[in-house]
Structure 1
Amino acid sequence: MAGEAELTPTGYIQHHLQNLTFKVGEGGFWTLHLDTLITAVLLGLVMVFLFWLATRKATAGVPGKWQAFVEIVLEFIDKQAKDAYHGSSKLVTPIAITLFCWILLMNGLKLVPADFIAKPLEWVGVHYWKPVPTADVNATLGMSISVFFLMIFFALRAKGLGGFIHELFTAPFGKWMFPANLLLNFVELLSKPVSLAMRLFGNMYGGEIVFLLIWMLGGAGIFGALAGGAFGLGWMLFHLLVIPLQAFIFMMLSIVYLSLMEEHH
């Protein structure tokens, strides 16, 4: 069935956007996207390993090339986090580093042609594998929900439970407008993780579809192959900017949200 679907452009795109799923519970009440989970965890381990390589032979003198590169990246993220966050938490920079580097690696899989991953997996019996975790809304929502819980934690730590609840009912219109305050604050709170998730997902998912459309040109003869190569190169060069930019935006908005949650109104 998969081979037949790939004969048409629509079938080819749908095939590569189909997740490898595993259903849990009666009637598949809970469906896990195994490709997203496995790829995200593996890239997280790769990130840890790369940082470990930089620290394994770290020196206070003249650093090696990889150590120097990692130090530049970490110093850049640390500066951006401190500029956006006005509190005193020591957790903010590690959170920023984790978000940026992990999302950067997941986004970076977009530069690998889908067939380079899918075809070898088909040889071992895996017919569906969506390679880019951030092109799966479940992954971006998972990260944004984690940021949401961090927002609540930072707010409770800075204001206490009583102060946090008091602001929900009294800001910004005063205590006599508490129904409007509560509604407005809940909408504001919930919109932040949703916007974080959908912004990253939309950019990565849309880019993935365009890449697949370009790759389809390769099957349209010699001129199609040349056009596909030219358009693919241009789109790839464009995504050399989009990939780190989207990771940076997700990281910076997360830090800004954490900072806002500690402010007293």
Structure 2
Amino acid sequence: MASENPTSSEYISHHLSNLTFGNHPVEGWGFAGGQKAAEMGFWAIHVDTMFFSIVTGVFFIWLFKKVASSAVSGVPGNLQNFVEVVVEFVDDNVQSIFHHKNPVIAPLALTVFVWIFLMNLLKLIPVDFIPYIASEMGISYWKIVPTADINATLGMSFSVFALIIYYSIKMKGVSGFMAELSFQPLGKYLLPFNLFLEIVGLLAKPVSLGLRLFGNMYAGEIIFILIAMLPFWIQWVLSVPWAIFHILVIVLQAFIFMVLTVVYLAMAHEDH
């Protein structure tokens, strides 16, 4: 922190600022946070978001690969039981929504669900713990929840959007995809109006997908920060119930993102 005794607004602003690497218009290339980071522009990288996204992704791959390589057909251990429950849960949801043959969808759904869950789970770490360690290492800003960064959530949602466009064209062809956008819901004689409605609806999918996850995680982050500003004894009274409630939010938001991803890709495969 810039001062030993920050004001409430400084404390909140600090905890909501990412460690950013980019080109500052005055100082050149380097690391910054807060307003200086905003001035770096579009190509600046949120280092903390990238770091924790990669760490959780690598942990997910390592954990599931470890379980898969040591799986037994007899009585499984607790870890194998847990992974099998997660895989079966995702597989059941995919089979109930997606009725086409595509070997990519189920692994994609599993990756989306577990990866987002792990990133959301970082929110349960006390808000001052990791930033304090980072400050002791000389890092002024260190925000640990990637899904509380709109760049991460929109990055994932626009990746899903790219798959929607790809499979829409692959399954229906360019002409079929354009006809789907142009001739519904009001018929070919109102083509401009149809096109406007369908394009707006198409673009709304990734935007709503990313903003929904970001909004819930960002709001939860603010509540934890506000609780951390209260006297210590009040923090325990409020933070424990809120953390327990937030466990449900963490799982629910990962589930919603996964289900909508599968639904949108199922729609991309359907010709109507």
Shorter-chain TM range is over 0.9
Give me the whole-angstrom Cα distance separating, in 2, the residues matched to 1:22 and 1:176: 51
Is 1:227 paired with 2:226?
Answer: no
Residue of structure 2 equivalent to 1:221: none
CA RMSD of aligned residues (A): 1.5
**1:120-162 deviation line (CA, Å, top 9, x unaligned):** 1111111101110000000000000001011111211221122
Matched, 1:99 2:106: no
Number of aligned residue pairs: 258
Q: Which residue of 2 aligns with 1:69?
A: 82
CA contact (8 A) 1:200 1:246 kept: yes
**Which AA in structure 2 matches 1:256?**
V
TM norm structure 1: 0.93
Name the residue aligned to 1:159.
Answer: 172
**Residue 89 (str. 1) matches residue 102 (str. 2):** yes
**Residue 65 (structure 2) aligned to one of 52, 71, 93:** 52
Equivalent-residue separation in structure 2 for 1:25 and 1:261 (angstroms):
41
Whether the 8 Å contact between 1:44 and 1:102 is mirrored in structure 2 is yes
For the 8 Å contact 2:127–2:228, the answer to whether it is kept is no
In structure 2, the residue matched to 1:256 is 263
Q: Which has the higher helix share?
A: 1
Give the 3-state SS of the residue equivalent to 1:176 in structure 2.
helix
- CA deviations on 1:12-67 (whole Å, 9 max, x unpaired) are 11101010001159774411111101110111001111112211211222222211
Deviation at residue 172 of structure 1 after TM alignment: 1.8
2:22 corresponds in structure 1 to: 23
Please tell me whether residue 202 in structure 1 is matched to residue 215 in structure 2.
yes
Report the counterpart of residue 110 of structure 1 in structure 2: 123
Does the alignment pair 1:12 with 2:14?
no
Q: Normalising by the residue count of structure 2, what TM-score does the alignment of the two structures yield?
A: 0.91
Which secondary structure state, in structure 2, belongs to the residue aligned with residue 2 of structure 1?
coil
How far apart are 1:99 and its partner, in Å? 0.4
Q: Which amino acid aligns with 1:122?
A: S
Is 1:236 equivalent to 2:235 in the alignment?
A: no
Q: In structure 1, what residue type is equivalent to 2:9?
A: T
Post-superposition offset of 1:86: 2.1
SS in 1 for 2:169: helix
Distance 2:245 2:233 in 1: 19
C-alpha contact 1:18 1:130 (8 A) present in aligned 2: yes
Q: What SS does the aligned partner of 2:229 have? A: helix
Distance in 1 (alpha carbons) for counterparts of 2:66 and 2:269 = 36
